[in-house]
Amino acid sequence: MDMQFNNPSNALYFWAVVALFGLLLFAYARRSSLLQRVACKRLTQRLTKSSSNGKRKLRIALLIATALTLCASILDPRWGTKYKEVEQKGIDTFFVLDVSRSML
């Protein structure tokens, strides 16, 4: 089976994900440098004891994975084609309304 994308023009949104990734990495590095500039190493460790770098990295990874999944979904991927004949039964129904002067 071959895979087709019905909206390949939406692939440009992947560049937005790359920009988002760069922005998140910049913010992560900037936060660390600002903390080091404000306080000494010992005070920084005490201030950041309750926050976890692992959780922050996991949050960034999940955000990027979500953005990539959304970008892949708007490409509208399709896997192969399958035609199946379906027999239909039905009754045609007509509703007739007489609005002539003789019926009023």
pLDDT bucket at 16, cuts 50 / 70 / 90 = very high
Rg (CA), the chain: 30
Beta-sheet strands, E only, within 3-76: 3-5
Alpha carbons 102 and 95: distance in angstroms, whole number: 19
Tokens 């959780």, located at residue = 55
Question: What are the sequence ranges of the domains in the chain?
Answer: 3-83
Residue among 72, 59, 64, 58 nearest 17 (CA): 64
In the predicted model, is pLDDT for residue 91 greater than 80?
yes
Tokens of 3: 């895979």
Per-residue pLDDT reduced to its tens digit, 69-90: 999 999 888 887 778 888 888 8
27 alpha-carbon distance from chain centroid: 22
Alpha carbons 67 and 17: distance in angstroms, whole number: 6
Residue 50 is given by DSSP the state S
